[in-house]
Amino acid sequence: MREVILAKTAGFCFGVKRAVDLTYEQVRKAKDEGKKVYTLGHIIHNESVVSDLEKQGVTTIVDDSMIDEIFSGMSDEERADCVVVTRSHGIGKTVSDRLHAFKLAVVDATCPFVKKIHDIVEEESGEGKTVVIVGDATHPEVKGIIDWCKGPYFVISSAEEAQSLPIDRTKEFALVSQTTFHTKKYQDIVDFFHANDYNVKMYKTICNATEERQREARSLASGVDTMIVIGGKHSSNSRKLYEICAECCEHTCFIQTLVDLDFTVIESAKRVGITAGASTPNHIIKEVQNSMAEESFEELLKQSEESESKIKPGSVVEGKVISVKPDEITVDIQYKADGIITRQEYSNTPNLDLTTVVNEGDPITVKVIKTNDGEGQVLLSYKRVAAEKSYAELEEAFENATVLKAPVTKVVEGGLTVTINEVNVFIPASLVSDTYEKNLEKFMDQEVEFVITEFNPKKRRIIGNRKQLIVAEKAELAKKLFENIKVGDVVEGKVKNVTPFGAFIDLGGADGLLHISEMSWGRIDDPKSVVKVGDTVKTFIKEINGEKIALSLKFEDNNPWVTAAEKYAIGTEVTGKVARMTTFGAFVELEPGVDALLHVSQISNEHVEKPEDVFTIGQEITAKVVDLKLDEKKISLSIKALLPEAAEEETEAEE
């Protein structure tokens, strides 16, 4: 015969029962008065209770930050029909003030033992003392306690952490504990402070029910073959019971309900102990206790084994979505435990809000990753099923060189990651474009086209190639371009690059070189003074040599030498600027593209050694044209011809 021993303290504690009773009382009133009931967070850490409340119309405000989002859009009349029940773990002062600012009807279901801690830390911190809180910093109860502190505080969970606290041991500080904290671990911390002469004012805030429950669990677990701890997976006190029992009994199970129980664990047990966390309803405890009877055990074991054969790591099963949170999906897979899909196992998209892509009641195909995630639930994956299907499609695309399109989901120094049907494809930086891409960040969240040039799913190596498509596209454009252009054609293109010797112009399929000497009829020192990258320019094709295209901006109708015979006839007085100088004279720019030589002998009636002795670059001078050779594009100037002595000599010569 199997002996089943149920702990006397198992189940709802005073604070939890009070919170649950208050909530159900509000639900009953709301139905009569036509009001809407909200709970701030899960009223207790038990999914069975939370689920039942939600079925009765209670809305759970999952995160405190949602208070403004929910109530700010309501009118005063609408808010008057709302009732908010605070969780048994308590809330912070900031949250409390915010609820009352909306003039909401607030029912405080905070456990009296927790409320006492709020009062302690508010008073002690108000007197300027540092507060040290022993507990789990992520637990709602501890978060609430923190918000009632008016000054410095620290959160620790072990004596080791206490050793590194940056506090002055001579100054008095207050020490409190989460109500459900491990009593032995708390005592270890207290002993450390006392042993090292810290000036600590210690408050005993672990509730009596918790202490008694932990003592009984330790004693019971020490005398049984198998120990069963029943509680919510997020319940701090239940997890601590499990830790205590596991220290005393090798075969300790942590379950939420009967369906989580692995009956093979207790098959040969003669003595079975059962305890439950403070948030566990009595009917769940009774259900587990009754299942231990010999007559029902064989049938339950048989059902369990049949279910086990279907649900195992690697198996693909059909399920139905029970609930959806931003980062987690709960799925009914017809098993003793529900399945969980984390955000990471649903999609490769970072920070995806699952509530935007999945709805309650949706059918879903998933793969089993683990049959127990450590909290009694089955870990599932949606993206791995999608990925396996996608691998077959990608392999076909690889074999057929199919062009694919997908968004860039990650940018790294070595290239881009694109995600297609939950499979990551890597495009190395060298295959992103046919030219060097300095800034890969510009591709983030952009859809890009590519082909797969390497496919090795076993090594998780799938390589995409965007460069191949760009090269092929440009080759086709180049072919069409060369079929339709000839020397002399006027073409328009965009400046792609500017160098000291000229600019490369993208003509839509091939680049043409606009050499610095072809940018103007005049002299150009820097191509950047004429064009810049991105400019659209109109040029004409001067030469085609294989795949090389030479361009020019020196259109014939702008050729200054066309009118030179009239403008610069011999004897004409002209004005220009000194452009450059040599030992034999100075070149004077009369207009862009037309330079004339002022020989050193024609500068003055007096002897001039070199032009630099008289002129500076850019200086404006006036001279007379004394020679013009249009076929050679040469003009000779003389300043002497304008001087008085030169004029007299000309007159005498004429006489």
pLDDT of residue 374: 52
Domain contains 513: yes
Are 299 and 213 in a shared domain? yes
Are 415 and 393 in a shared domain? yes
pLDDT of residue 78: 92
Domain contains 9: no
Are 395 and 456 in a shared domain? yes
Are 50 and 134 in a shared domain? no
Are 218 and 292 in a shared domain? yes
How many residues in total does the chain contain?
Answer: 655
Are 197 and 118 in a shared domain? yes
Q: Give CA separation, 579 vs 13, 360, 479, 565, 642, in Å.
A: 100, 82, 44, 22, 21
> Strand, helix or coil at 594?
strand
Q: Which of 558, 574, 591 is the last residue of a domain?
A: 558
> Strand, helix or coil at 558?
helix
pLDDT of residue 337: 67
Are 551 and 572 in a shared domain? no
d(CA 198, CA 191): 10
Domain contains 475: no
Q: Give the count of domains, the chain.
A: 7
Q: What 8-state DSSP symbol labels residue 326? A: T
pLDDT of residue 390: 83
Q: Which single residue is written with the structure tokens 């919170």?
A: 19
pLDDT of residue 338: 76
Domain contains 7: no
Q: What are the tokens at 499?
A: 């160098």
pLDDT of residue 300: 43
Q: Looking at residue 220, which CATH number applies to its domain?
A: 3.40.1010.20
pLDDT of residue 298: 45
**Could you state, in chain order, the average pLDDT of each consecutive group of 10 residues for the chain (655 residues)?**
83 81 91 91 79 89 87 91 92 92 92 92 96 93 95 95 93 94 90 95 84 88 93 83 93 88 78 89 84 52 51 87 89 78 87 91 91 70 85 88 92 89 88 89 93 86 93 88 90 92 90 91 87 92 91 88 90 94 94 92 92 94 94 93 68 49
User: Active-site residue among 141, 216, 345, 518?
Assistant: 141
Q: Looking at residue 610, which CATH number applies to its domain?
A: 2.40.50.140
Domain membership of residue 289 as a residue range: 209-307
Are 647 and 571 in a shared domain? yes
The candidate with the shortest Cα–Cα distance to 403, out of 457, 462, 468, is: 468
Are 553 and 593 in a shared domain? no
pLDDT of residue 372: 67
Q: Which of 283, 307, 331 is the last residue of a domain?
A: 307
Are 98 and 118 in a shared domain? no
Are 302 and 319 in a shared domain? no
Q: Cβ(354)–Cβ(329) under 8 Å?
A: yes
Are 397 and 368 in a shared domain? no
Domain contains 430: yes
Domain contains 549: yes
Cα four-point dihedral sign 110, 116, 121, 127: positive
78 catalytically annotated: no
- Find the angle CA(270)-CA(276)-CA(277) to the nearest 5 degrees: 155
Domain contains 1: no
SS (H, E, C) 31-98: HHHCCEEEEECCCCCCHHHHHHHHHCCCEEECCCCHHHHHHCCCCHHHHHCEEEEECCCCCCHHHHHH
Q: Which of 360, 381, 402 is the last residue of a domain?
A: 381
Q: Give CA separation, 111 vs 59, 114, 203, 547, in Å.
A: 21, 5, 17, 84
